């Protein structure tokens, strides 16, 4: 299970001023607690500052975090003018978050994925929008796989995001994406799937609980990556437990270790 | 989701002496808290007292609980000499827990299911044992459906139990039963599936957590009944949340109500 730590995002109230004022200690603390909690990638986003300031601030985030920690980053932007200089600074294999089938976005970001050999999140969206049904999502997933692998990008580098919509908008949306995940994993063996968990609970009370349970349901359908807050202890306990139950934890060693470290009994 | 409350079982340390001494108040309290927590059936089991005393004690449980509460019971015994008199006393539609393809068990219990028009839990087991693989389980499920419906028993009265084995014994067991549930629900539309949750966690620490997450995974595959402890608040919170995410709770009304009643924020 690949975990992308979502906390360092300028759309979050406490993060924006820290990025804007280049508060190194605050950002390093945010990075450190996500890494310690199990993040494989630390996502960095400076999108709210507009296209003029985003490149500089994204680069600052990459340099600041990698100067201190031996970790890799998820560069969270649709803007190639921010992604490219950040990639040039980045050490190790980065993740680009994200590409889609929107023409302009695809054409400007795909060459960066290919040339820098990054992992990439590929969203089921195109210039007509983000469809909410199973078959339209699946069709976009198929096009993404076909086009990206056609450019020589390996399946193992591609994380398809079927895009989760809030169940408060339509009560079928949660189930549809679960089915989509399973179909993608079955029909394109070797590709990965990823979701941003928190969309599912938008507009409902006690969103943590919905996100925590949706992760389990999605893992049950084959999801193998997620954008989430790894400092949410119950979310991570559920993840560890689901891995034991889904035969992703031989002899339940991780589960038993997590229990020994007090990470389950919350 | 049909919930069978498992607490009144003589194999449990605190229950056995209460059944043996016919402690009415204790048993009524156990029944009441399960009914209030959402049990559709209250399971009653007096199996540990041996075949001579079981009929009388099982009948006492039925009469005692139904004299006080307007509820239906799950008669938990393989022994027709206990089930039959209990059925004669029972008001409303009982559940027989459980039949299997073991010849003697099937031949003695099937007529009771048919003649009393009960619901029935039908375990994937026969005289050769309880197979642990997907295909053998599915074959037994198919035989159960064929034989029971051949006797005129309605699909809607049949709850197939694929039998959960502990993941501490073999780390594939949890996943196999999830796949079995989905196949049964797909291949025999109209039949129900049920599991006794707690077996999955046998031999591992912090079993609650495994049971709580396994319920979610099984619901994700279509499970529509479970034998569980409805007084486990987190288990029930997970159940309510999974229903909202799986399109089993229109407009998330139950979820929102559960939140309002403080049943989610534990």
Size of interface A-B (CB pairs under 8 A): 111
Residue B197 is encoded by which pair of tokens? 């949750």
Q: What SS3 state is found at B224?
A: coil
DSSP state of A69: -
d(CA A184, CA A214) in angstroms, rounded, equals: 18
The answer, for A257 touching chain B at a CB cutoff of 8 Å, is no
Q: Which of A205, A64, A31, A129 is nearest to B258 (CA)?
A: A205
d(CA B146, CA B140) in angstroms, rounded, equals: 10
Convert the pLDDT of each residue in B56-65 to its tens digit.
Answer: 999 999 999 9
Chain B residues with CB inside 8 Å of A175's CB?
Answer: 245-247
Question: CB–CB of A211/A200 below 8 Å?
Answer: yes
Beta strands in B14-161 (DSSP E): 41-44, 72-76, 95-99, 119-123, 158-161
Start-to-end Cα distance in chain B:
22
- Domain count of the fold of chain B: 3
Question: CB–CB of B195/B3 below 8 Å?
Answer: no
Scanning every residue of chain B, which has its alpha carbon at the shortest distance from the alpha carbon of A172?
Answer: B247
d(CA A124, CA A90) in angstroms, rounded, equals: 27
Which residues 6+ apart lie within 8 Å of B195 measured at CB? B161, B162, B163, B164, B177, B181, B218, B223, B226, B227
Residue A52 is encoded by which pair of tokens? 């003029």
Last residue of a domain, one of B92, B119, B136: B92
Cβ burial of A103 (10 Å; 0-12, 13-18, 19+) is exposed
Chain B residues with CB inside 8 Å of A262's CB?
Answer: none
Last residue of a domain, one of B69, B92, B115: B92
Check A204 against B249: CB less than 8 A apart: no
Residue B224 and residue B250 share a domain: no
Closest CB to B206: pick one of A175, A246, A259: A259
Residue A41 and residue A30 share a domain: yes
* B90 phi/psi in degrees, rounded to 5: -65, 135
The answer, for A266 touching chain B at a CB cutoff of 8 Å, is no
Q: Domain range for residue A79?
A: 1-92
ipTM of the complex: 0.94
B72-76 and A95-99 beta bridge pairing:
unpaired
Tell me how close the Cα of B4 comes to any Cα of chain A, in angstroms. 22
Residue A237 and residue A214 share a domain: no
Is the bond leading into B98 cis (omega within 30 degrees of zero)?
A: yes
Residue B216 and residue B104 share a domain: yes
Residue A16 and residue A51 share a domain: yes
Question: CB–CB of A4/A195 below 8 Å?
Answer: no
B119-123 and B95-99 beta bridge pairing:
parallel
Beta strands in chain A (DSSP E): 2-5, 41-44, 72-76, 95-99, 119-123, 158-161, 192-196, 225-228
Chain B residues with CB inside 8 Å of A204's CB?
Answer: 244, 252, 255-256
The total of other beta-carbon atoms located within 10 Å of residue A218's CB is 27
Scanning every residue of chain A, which has its alpha carbon at the shortest distance from the alpha carbon of B235?
Answer: A213
d(CA B237, CA B242) in angstroms, rounded, equals: 9
The answer, for B246 touching chain A at a CB cutoff of 8 Å, is yes
Residue A128 and residue A21 share a domain: no
Q: ∠ CA A77-A78-A83 to the nearest 5 degrees?
A: 60
d(CA A256, CA B218) in angstroms, rounded, equals: 22
The pLDDT tens digits along chain A (266 residues) read 999 999 999 999 999 999 999 999 999 999 999 999 999 999 999 999 999 999 999 999 999 999 999 999 999 999 999 999 999 999 999 999 999 999 999 999 999 999 999 999 999 999 999 999 999 999 999 999 999 999 999 999 999 999 999 999 999 999 999 999 999 999 999 999 999 999 999 999 999 999 999 999 999 999 999 999 999 999 999 999 999 999 999 999 999 999 999 999 88
Residue A249 and residue A224 share a domain: no
The answer, for A256 touching chain B at a CB cutoff of 8 Å, is yes
Q: What SS3 state is found at A234?
A: helix
Calculate what percentage of chain A has a pLDDT beyond 70. Answer: 100
Residue A131 and residue A74 share a domain: no
- For residue B266, pLDDT over 90 is answered with no
Buried b / exposed e over B43-52, threshold 16 CB at 10 Å, is bbbbbbbeee
Scanning every residue of chain B, which has its alpha carbon at the shortest distance from the alpha carbon of A170?
Answer: B251
Residue A85 and residue A111 share a domain: no
Residue B237 and residue B223 share a domain: no
Chain B residues with CB inside 8 Å of A246's CB?
Answer: 174-175, 178, 217
d(CA A219, CA A193) in angstroms, rounded, equals: 10
Convert the pLDDT of each residue in A192-221 to its tens digit.
Answer: 999 999 999 999 999 999 999 999 999 999
Cα B248 to Cα A241, B39, B237, B253: the distances in Å are 24, 18, 14, 10
Residue B68 is encoded by which pair of tokens? 């006080």
d(CA A36, CA A39) in angstroms, rounded, equals: 7
Scanning every residue of chain B, which has its alpha carbon at the shortest distance from the alpha carbon of A242?
Answer: B213
Residue A266 and residue A169 share a domain: no
Tell me the CATH number at A179: 3.20.20.20
- For residue B54, pLDDT over 90 is answered with yes
Residue A18 and residue A137 share a domain: no
């Amino acid at each position: 299970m690949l975990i992308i730590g979502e906390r360092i995002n300028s759309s979050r109230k406490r993060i924006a001023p820290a990025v804007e004022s280049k508060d190194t200690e605050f950002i390093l603390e945010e990075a450190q607690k996500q890494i310690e909690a199990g993040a494989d990638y630390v996502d960095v986003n400076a999108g709210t500052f507009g296209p003029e300031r985003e490149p500089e601030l994204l680069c600052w985030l990459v340099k600041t975090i990698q100067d201190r920690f031996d970790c890799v980053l998820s560069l969270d932007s649709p803007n190639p003018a921010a992604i490219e200089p950040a990639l040039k600074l980045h050490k190790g294999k980065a993740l680009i978050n994200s590409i889609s089938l929107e023409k302009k976005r695809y054409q400007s970001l795909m060459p960066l994925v290919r040339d820098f050999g990054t992992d990439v999140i590929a969203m089921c969206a195109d210039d007509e929008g983000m469809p909410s049904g199973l078959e339209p999502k699946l069709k976009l997933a198929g096009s993404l796989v076909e086009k990206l692998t056609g450019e020589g990008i390996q399946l193992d580098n591609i994380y398809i995001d079927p895009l989760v919509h809030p169940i408060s908008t339509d009560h079928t949306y949660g189930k549809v994406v679960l089915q989509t995940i399973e179909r993608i994993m079955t029909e394109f063996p070797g590709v990965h799937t990823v979701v941003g968990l928190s969309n599912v609970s938008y507009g409902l009370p006690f969103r943590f609980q919905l996100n925590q349970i949706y992760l389990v349901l999605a893992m049950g359908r084959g999801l193998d990556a997620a954008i989430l807050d790894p400092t949410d202890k119950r979310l991570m306990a559920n993840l560890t437990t689901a891995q034991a139950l889904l035969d992703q934890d031989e002899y339940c060693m991780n589960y038993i270790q997590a229990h020994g470290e007090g990470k389950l009994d919350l």
